[in-house]
Structure 1
Amino acid sequence: MKKSFIFSTVLFLCLFSSIILSVAFTSPSDNAPNPEDKKAIKSMCGCYEVSFDFAETFASDTAYKFHENYSAGALEWVELVEETPNFVSMQHLLIANDTMIIKHWRQDWSYENTDFYMFDKDKNWKFVQKPKSEVKGQWTQKVFQVDDSPRYEGSASWVHIDGRHFWENTTDAPLPRREYSKRKDYNVTVRTNHHEIVKEGWTHEQDNDKVLRVDNKADFKLASEKGMNIYKKVDDSRCKSAQGWWTENKDFWEVVRTEWNAVFARNKDLKLKRVVDKKPLFMHLFPLEVTETEKIKPIITDFVEEN
């Protein structure tokens, strides 16, 4: 009787210990994202004074003429557009002269995403599916143009260590807007994006290579540059005009996102036209009234090249 009791007790303790160990060593990605990840991502929302600074730092060709440094500043509202357990969408809105609102870039964050539109060159994106094992525990940041067309995306893990919270990824991207209409000597930006949450707000640090990409040839690195965008948190009341603008226009842009999502759902390489009727996409969408949503699909369709 006593031996039976001891055996039963030992068996129970072994089973209990195995359950505890199983729970303890289960990766968060087996269930849900680390709450610290979502907290870091969502902390980028709000009202910010932003400074944008870029400087070319290196060129292998000694005859290369370095371009002037670029500096700018703005007041920017980052709106939380959508949130689910594995997804966060945020829209950036620039505020000029306190009242004029300019729809800026959008960033979507998807947990353990496997479907990517990777920029190739010019107006071409290649559809790539990665195995789940490759993106385990990672968040994909998908960045979109002002008209919600694709820009670039990349996947990496958020790191929370020694009081720091950051995410870093290297991916190919189109030329930045500040150089898109000025430079013809390169056509791809290989950008390393480092997003870090800091006490005053957050920073977007960049280490970019300016690359000329031509079919059937090796990439040629023209120059490198360093970028630092600093988002300094200010009271949300300073961005009240942007908040109001988004309330009035959000339904329109939800339709735009829906139409783009239908394009992305085709899961095949994507090629976009630069202009239609001598105008880029944003110049077709921005003048529309918020009630003219029926015009959105035909406009986007016109810009998508059939493969």
Structure 2
Amino acid sequence: MKKTIISAIALAFVAMNGNAQDKLAQDKAAIKNLCGCHDVTFEYSETFPADTNYKPKGYKKTSGAIEYITVAEEGPRRIVLQHLLIAGGDVIKHWTEDWQYENRTLLSFDKDDQWKKTELPAANVKGQWTQKVFGVDDEPRYEGSASWVHADGRHYWESTSSAPLPRREYTTRSDYNVLVRTNHHEITSKGSIHEQDNQKVVRTDGTDKVIVGEKGLNTYNRVDDAQCEKAIAWWNEHKAFWALVRKGWDQLYQDNSTVTLQKKVNDTPLYKAMGELEKKAHDKELTGAALEKAIASTLQQFAGRKDVSMK
């Protein structure tokens, strides 16, 4: 009888482990299914104001963009996806999403260009994936942890996190300083959707005052890869440089409990400083250890203490 009970427990453990492995494989497949060449539409509209005197901004739609998404890095517990936008015939390095399995360390946005490292209990992230979102220079944006759900023929992931102002508004709005984003990513028969239910918030000393809600819908419809040939070629030529940039950021995040991102250093924005380094790498003016050192130095200047100046 005792042996029968032990055998039953062992079989249950094997089944549970097998189910966990199957779920992990499903999760990875869903994340990688976000890749490909897409015709993208971006739609946003403010919804319900917290103050009746506030008039919500109107509906905005941007369509006709082509976006290529590819796996930039992959390991047993990590999948990095790179977005490349094709606009006006040019390739623009767009945002990066770094998916990490059962990750316990989040770099959480606080407010006013500052992020703080937070540690989550292992039990809280069991079976979950953290989506770490980074900007065009792989600078921090927002991070959230949740489980991928595979049920009733649907495959989706949803999480809420604080973020800085979106690029569509950060140069035109000063009436709020935090976007609390609920991001919903779902695989569709045509590609995927990125649905958002956001709140525009004024955050002061840990207190949030909601200004207005916002609905967002980014639709990714897969098209023939031939439409992304230019982006594919560009990425093959530049991906080694951006792998070093990600490595530099990873080290900076590891070494710091808070990150304060400066918009400019010596009147130079980050994208220009990184563009100069990328050109030097492309022209072989900087290679190897010297290139890695230059990248690390630049990142430290923009994401370190405010009294640090460029050398």
Tell me the TM-score normalized by structure 1: 0.91
Q: Would the aligned equivalents of 1:105 and 1:143 in 2 still touch at CA under 8 Å? A: yes
- Paired residue total: 295
Tell me the distance in 1 between the aligned counterparts of 2:144 and 2:165.
Answer: 16
Partner of 1:212: 202
Query: Which residue, out of 111, 119, 143, partners 1:153?
Result: 143
Query: Which residue, out of 231, 246, 253, partners 2:242?
Result: 253
TM-aligned CA deviation for residue 197 of structure 1: 0.3
Report the CA distance shift for 1:11/1:59 in structure 2 as closer, same or farther (over 3 A).
closer
Report the CA distance shift for 1:277/1:33 in structure 2 as closer, same or farther (over 3 A).
farther
Q: Secondary structure at the match of 1:179?
A: coil
Q: Secondary structure at the match of 2:204?
A: coil
Tell me the distance in 1 between the aligned counterparts of 2:276 and 2:221.
Answer: 31
Tell me the distance in 1 between the aligned counterparts of 2:177 and 2:18.
Answer: 40
Tell me the distance in 2 between the aligned counterparts of 1:133 and 1:64.
Answer: 42
Amino acid at match of 1:150: P
- The structure whose Rg is larger is 1
Partner of 2:10: 19
- What runs of 5+ residues in structure 2 fail to find an aligned partner? 307-311
Q: Would the aligned equivalents of 1:28 and 1:137 in 2 still touch at CA under 8 Å? A: no
1:160-179 superposed matches below 5 A = 160-179=150-169
Deviations 1:277-301 (A, max 9, x none): 2232112112441234623222212
- What runs of 5+ residues in structure 1 fail to find an aligned partner? 1-9
Partner of 1:7: none
Query: Which residue, out of 68, 72, 85, partners 1:77?
Result: 68
| Percent of aligned pairs with the same amino acid | 46
1:131-146 superposed matches below 5 A = 131-146=121-136
TM-aligned CA deviation for residue 53 of structure 1: 0.2
Tell me the distance in 2 between the aligned counterparts of 1:32 and 1:277.
Answer: 52
Deviations 1:85-133 (A, max 9, x none): 2110010000023x31000000010000001100000110011011100
Tell me the distance in 1 between the aligned counterparts of 2:180 and 2:112.
Answer: 13
TM-aligned CA deviation for residue 237 of structure 1: 1.5
Partner of 1:3: none
TM-aligned CA deviation for residue 68 of structure 1: 2.8
Query: Which residue, out of 90, 94, 99, partners 1:100?
Result: 90
Tell me the distance in 2 between the aligned counterparts of 1:239 and 1:114.
Answer: 35
Tell me the distance in 1 between the aligned counterparts of 2:268 and 2:60.
Answer: 26
Amino acid at match of 2:227: R
Q: Secondary structure at the match of 2:250?
A: helix
Tell me the TM-score normalized by structure 2: 0.90
TM-aligned CA deviation for residue 140 of structure 1: 0.2
Amino acid at match of 2:40: V
Deviations 1:44-76 (A, max 9, x none): 011000000000001021111222322112100
TM-aligned CA deviation for residue 84 of structure 1: 1.1
Tell me the distance in 2 between the aligned counterparts of 1:58 and 1:18.
Answer: 53
